[in-house]
Structure 1
Amino acid sequence: MTTLVICEKPSQAKNVIAALGSTYGQILPCQGHLLRLETPGEVKPEWKNWNQDILTPPNGLYGHVPDEGSGKPPRLARIKQALKTAKAVIIATDCDREGQGIGQSILHLLNYRGPVKRAMFTAEDAVTLRNAFSAAKSNTEYETLYQAFVARQQADQIYNLTLTRVATTVLRAPGTDGVIGVGRVKTPTLGILCKREKEILAFKSSEYFEIIMEVTGRTGSATLKHAPSDKDRIVDPSVAEIILSAAKAFTGPISVITERKSRRPPQPYDLPALEQRANTLWGWTVKKTDEIAQELYEEFNLTTYPRAEAQYLPETMIPEIPALVRQLNEIQAYSQCAVAEIRTGADGIFCDKKLAGISHFAIIPNVNCPGGFAATAAKLNADQAKLFDLIARRFLAGVAPDYVYDQTTLTANVPTPQRPDTTSATFTTSGARAIHLGWKAIETDIDEEEEAPIPSLQDGDMVRATEATLAAKWTEPPKRYTEAGLIKAMKDAWKFIQDPAERERLKEAKGLGTPATRSAIIEGLKHQRQVHVQNKNLVPTPAGMLIYDVFMEVAPVIVDPGATARMEARLDDILKGTASAQQVISEISRQAAWITQRITQSTTRVDLAASKKTKAAHGAKTAATGPKSRPATPPRSAQDSSAPKRATQPAKTRTTQPPPANCIFLRVPQSQGFDAHKLGAKLDHQSGRYWIPGSMNRRPFQEKGWL
């Protein structure tokens, strides 16, 4: 019997061939999605021109057509030819709904009617693959998984394209160009950035105090600090002065406690963690990290599949680890590394339970690297070598010994009988001494403050204060998101949801977007001029803020991460058989219609280039019929909704010295800039905010309400 095995990508096909040979028949790879959905204009010619129609096809579904992307037509042609003689098919794509859709939609398009089985696996080592193929089930058992894929793909097409057209034709200012892109994932991501920006703009800094005390005893000295937690901060200057006076006069015992501790290594990288790390270390964009990670995987075969969505490895891989480490020893930088500990379970690195239902495990060096690591790594350019080193060291740290250290904490209780709330103030400091570096000798690029040395004082020593000082500090606004921070916020978007059930569902769904799509979402927001980069931070443009304000006014659901959780819950209903794909698609169509009706009532107009807010002219036609004064034509293809008609010239910036690190930024209304200047504030032209030196008298600015 002639059998065709369909894999999702070439690397997967290579692994299946290496594990199974021709046991199950001919093995052919896709290249991700070889098919795309029809465009609205291909379904109805009148939809080539943008309007406020709800883009639900007359028969309810967009059809699949071959994707003309690079390299895809020949792969589809080979599968089509093989199906002519195939007596059976095994779908061996990724185990999620997208993988199911990639394989099964091809069989539907090519009208294959023979028997189909489904091999499910979350790792691609030989043992796992052999077990998966021997346990392959009839594909009919996964029909609800395919229907969930259909619902997700069709609903996103209807929702995203409909609302992008509506927002663009209704909200875009007359005589301007550009696209106001709306997406089920994209727009809540914009909402995360805009919500943070509003928190920053509304923030009012307040003063608080910490007290620092130098003490000396018979065996040494130490610097201790009284710095209560945020909720107990000292905000009353008179209380701070009482504690300061008591500290200056302090003589008494000091407590010194030393504990032996150990710390396990961090988890191997998944794609979001790798993106965050590269952004933090080197300022790389998410897109750059994704591209270089793909090169390491696809061009050099140095690493495993980069679009990983878990920071665990399958337990079936454990037998391969000694060989993998020995091969990495070929590279001089890793020649002394060895396998010291295999950590399993949820707190370890190898855990099958944590990989249940997940298609791709953590990114590590590829044990099957052809030509060996040393020879292949020598071909890398500087950026490729840096990223490979990051991945390799994180993996090697994972099988190295624990970091062992002594943690010492010094505590002095200073009597403060004059305080109205308590009779003492606790001053503390701590330090650490490494006993065994373990994995820290390998994994050097870690986000940790340098550990202070342990002071030489002994437990119970009598000490006296030699100096005490008062440190006046000011609360700081929330920080803007870097690309690394936004990737983390998208992954942890469940934290923005109040409803417990929705929080849990979005947490299970791994947040907004997927490791494979988040980079494109961020780049799309930049390209459509809703977000720009400022000092490595992602900042909403005035247009982006205005779009967010409009949506919050007319239909907050557009920017609500909870909408994704609700969508995932409905896709779960399809898997459970309590809802159909058509029901979910119809619900999304009705929601798009309701949102469209709400958007058309808005009188706000957005100029994406100048970011100005305008009002519709008195007596103008309503947005439901489309203002005729809007001459700009949307992009030719509805799917190319991210490309504005012409690029705008970047604004010229003034070159000035940046504010000093210890400065204090002010919240000065635009109309009061001259008053701020007269009081001695300076304008940072880069951010458009006024600031004063940290040593300057703040009271005049407090009285104005600018702090």
Structure 2
Amino acid sequence: PTAVKKSVNSLRKNADFIPLATSALARARADWLYGINMTRLCTLQGQKSGYHGVLSIGRVQTPILGLVVHRDLEIERFVSKPFYEVIATFANDAGENYQAKWKPSTACEPYMDEDNRVISKKLAETVIAKIINQKGRVTDIKEARKKQAPPLPYSLSALQIDASKRFGISAQTVLDTCQQLYERYQLITYPRSDSRHLPTEHLKDVKQVTHAIKSSHQALVKAVDNANLNLKSKAWNDSKVTAHHAIIPTSKIFNTSNLSSYESNIYELIARQYLIQFYPDFEYQEKQIDTEISGGLFIAKQKEVVSQGWKELLPVKSSNTKNTDNDFSAKKLPNVKQNEQVLCDKAELIEKQTTPPKYFNDATLLSAMTGIARYVTDSSIKKVLRETDGLGTEATRAGIIELLFKRQFLQRNGKEIRATDIGKELITSLPIQMVVPDMTAHWESQLESINQREMTYNNFMQPLITQLNQLVENVQHISFQALQGKGKSAYKAKTKRKSTRPRRAAKSLN
């Protein structure tokens, strides 16, 4: 109510929003023109080849499908290759020892792959022969205490990603569940938000909200009791709040044991993320020892937890859950001194195999959509995509992914999301500019220029129509022969219902 009153008391003239409205109109018309023309054309081309379904095309959905197809093909074509690491064990005069990993110099680049891994076994064996039973010197010691601030409250995409990781829930199911919690139960705030920040005026409601969490959800009673409500995380920042603030619990009290399992799990995720804001930073000590021996550099690293802070609230990982804190050492590094001499009494050759990238799942596909910039190489396009929300919006991403399943372009294999033969054929047949996010970046840049009064509506639309005509010309020559006999028609012929009424006798013409 306070936020509504504040907005009503600071109304602005509609004229101030004409550029924004013009930009929105241009976006809607451009998406409509592109989608309806290319979908109809590709569908007709598919029908000529004997395909029975709809080959839908969209500025967002097609590049998303392209991501999955290209990942699948990368995995299919992947050939595992060996690479080598050298681990040396050093000991000082006091008998203290530590292990360090060889860091190849630039002179070794001819024997390394694009990820700076040594692919020459002979080189690694030569290094071992040169350092074993030789003396080295500690050249540098770095120590630092570091802090990690609590993660911000959820936007919709961030919530969907975490829910997928924790519970294996699809993006659409998370959105539907949030709508229930918001509309039916009034337990959370507006769910389709792209913001992860909160207005400072909300601080006065903190006690009410935390009391509601404690009274509603038994599993979080201890978390509320241990929270320090005087702490203020980076989440409270008026300048970073967009049209809607982050998704948080409301002050309504409700026994969450009466919710469905999905509803209860999602509520707990949102509430836990909110409570994390009232816990101190996670702290750890980082230490590195650089050792030089026989002209080579070996590095030993250690991370040691000092204070769990907000990580106390994270659920305990099961033995089957992948540990993300593997870089935190169980064994401490010794307190060696700079320039101290050490002896290499052991050196081990470790052979490893390169591994293919993993298939997408709900969490990683959503992460790819929100961080699409890392999938392009052009620096200017990368910059635009970083400044936007990526592919799609908070409200549309889940629906777009579901549409790709509905069109039979994607399929599930357990938790993995893979492209079907139909999806692969579509992507590999289309012009490259239709299946990469570059066009989206170009459009977003120009739409923002309209919003900033730097470009007119016509200057955006006319080149777009020209480009669309060129794409139509190119796609007209595409054949989808590999899709012959596949797909299901979206059209269902209507059968005339038989009337149950008794037939009337025909009237006499006389």
TM-score category of the 2 structures, normalised to the smaller one: 0.7 to 0.9
1:349 aligns with 2:349: no
Cα separation, partners in 2 of 1:608 and 1:396, compared to 1, 3 Å: farther
Aligned 8 A contact 2:49 2:484 in 1: no
Q: For residue 353 of structure 1, what is the amino acid of its counterpart?
A: S
Residues of 1 paired with 2:455 and 2:348: CA distance?
67
Matches within 5 A, 1:661-700: none
Percent of aligned positions that are identical: 24
Choose which of 169, 172, 178 in structure 2 pairs with 1:293.
178
Q: Which residue of 1 aligns with 2:468?
A: 592
1:425 aligns with 2:289: no
Choose which of 370, 395, 405 in structure 2 pairs with 1:516.
395
Residues of 2 paired with 1:412 and 1:579: CA distance?
58
Q: Which residue of 2 aligns with 1:693?
A: none
Cα separation, partners in 2 of 1:445 and 1:365, compared to 1, 3 Å: farther
Q: Which residue of 1 aligns with 2:226?
A: 336
Matches within 5 A, 1:439-450: 439-444=310-315, 448-450=324-326
- TM-score after normalising by structure 1: 0.61
Residue segments in structure 2 that go unaligned for 5+ positions in a row: 105-111, 318-322, 494-510
Aligned 8 A contact 2:164 2:170 in 1: yes
Residues of 2 paired with 1:442 and 1:502: CA distance?
39
Shift of 1:485: 1.4
Aligned 8 A contact 1:340 1:400 in 2: no
Q: For residue 435 of structure 2, what is the amino acid of its counterpart?
A: V
Q: Which residue of 2 aligns with 1:459?
A: 336
1:244 aligns with 2:128: yes
Q: Deviations over 1:518-556 (max 9, x none)?
A: 11111111221222223422222222122112113xxx3
Partner SS, residue 570 of structure 1: helix
Q: Which residue of 2 aligns with 1:567?
A: 443
Shift of 1:600: 1.2
Residues of 2 paired with 1:280 and 1:516: CA distance?
20
Q: Deviations over 1:132-155 (max 9, x none)?
A: 211212323323322332222233
Q: For residue 398 of structure 2, what is the amino acid of its counterpart?
A: S
Query: Root-mean-square deviation (CA), in Å?
Result: 3.0
Q: Which residue of 2 aligns with 1:154?
A: 29
Shift of 1:190: 1.4
Shift of 1:312: 1.5
Cα separation, partners in 2 of 1:425 and 1:635, compared to 1, 3 Å: same
Residues of 1 paired with 2:421 and 2:5: CA distance?
55
Residues of 1 paired with 2:454 and 2:102: CA distance?
58
Q: Which residue of 2 aligns with 1:558?
A: 434
Aligned 8 A contact 2:84 2:119 in 1: yes
Q: Which residue of 2 aligns with 1:165?
A: 40
Residues of 1 paired with 2:304 and 2:485: CA distance?
54
Choose which of 312, 318, 325 in structure 1 pairs with 2:197.
312
Q: Which residue of 2 aligns with 1:507?
A: 386
Q: Which residue of 2 aligns with 1:139?
A: 14
Cα separation, partners in 2 of 1:197 and 1:609, compared to 1, 3 Å: farther
Residues of 1 paired with 2:70 and 2:362: CA distance?
16
Matches within 5 A, 1:267-666: 267-330=152-215, 331=218, 332-334=221-223, 335-343=225-233, 348-355=234-241, 358-366=242-250, 368-369=251-252, 372=253, 375-413=254-292, 415-416=293-294, 423-434=295-306, 436-444=307-315, 448-450=324-326, 451-455=328-332, 457-460=334-337, 464-465=343-344, 467-552=346-431, 556-577=432-453, 581=457, 584-585=460-461, 587-607=463-483, 610=486, 635=491
Choose which of 105, 118, 132 in structure 2 pairs with 1:234.
118
Residues of 1 paired with 2:344 and 2:200: CA distance?
56
Q: For residue 146 of structure 1, what is the amino acid of its counterpart?
A: A
Q: Deviations over 1:655-675 (max 9, x none)?
A: xxxxxxxxxxxxxxxxxxxxx
Shift of 1:411: 4.1
Aligned 8 A contact 2:23 2:451 in 1: yes
| Higher RCO structure (Cα 8 Å, ≥6 apart) | 2
**Of Structure 1 and Structure 2, which has the larger fraction of its residues in helix?**
2
Aligned 8 A contact 2:91 2:342 in 1: yes
Aligned 8 A contact 1:221 1:455 in 2: no
1:208 aligns with 2:96: no
Residues of 2 paired with 1:410 and 1:578: CA distance?
54
Q: For residue 350 of structure 1, what is the amino acid of its counterpart?
A: W
Partner SS, residue 481 of structure 2: strand
Q: For residue 305 of structure 2, what is the amino acid of its counterpart?
A: R
Aligned 8 A contact 1:306 1:363 in 2: yes
Cα separation, partners in 2 of 1:597 and 1:501, compared to 1, 3 Å: same
Shift of 1:432: 0.6
Aligned length: 470
Residues of 2 paired with 1:219 and 1:340: CA distance?
48
Aligned 8 A contact 1:261 1:407 in 2: yes
Residues of 2 paired with 1:385 and 1:220: CA distance?
52
Q: Deviations over 1:313-355 (max 9, x none)?
A: 1222233224433443434242322224213xxxx21222223
Aligned 8 A contact 1:308 1:360 in 2: yes
Shift of 1:462: 6.3
Aligned 8 A contact 1:172 1:180 in 2: no
Q: For residue 359 of structure 1, what is the amino acid of its counterpart?
A: A
Shift of 1:363: 1.5
Q: Deviations over 1:468-523 (max 9, x none)?
A: 32111222233332221121211122334444444333333311110111111111
Aligned 8 A contact 1:268 1:311 in 2: yes
Residues of 1 paired with 2:180 and 2:446: CA distance?
37
Cα separation, partners in 2 of 1:583 and 1:407, compared to 1, 3 Å: closer
Residue segments in structure 1 that go unaligned for 5+ positions in a row: 1-18, 20-125, 417-422, 612-631, 638-707
Residues of 1 paired with 2:82 and 2:115: CA distance?
13
Q: For residue 572 of structure 1, what is the amino acid of its counterpart?
A: E
Residues of 2 paired with 1:320 and 1:219: CA distance?
59
Cα separation, partners in 2 of 1:220 and 1:535, compared to 1, 3 Å: farther
Cα separation, partners in 2 of 1:581 and 1:227, compared to 1, 3 Å: same
- TM-score after normalising by structure 2: 0.82
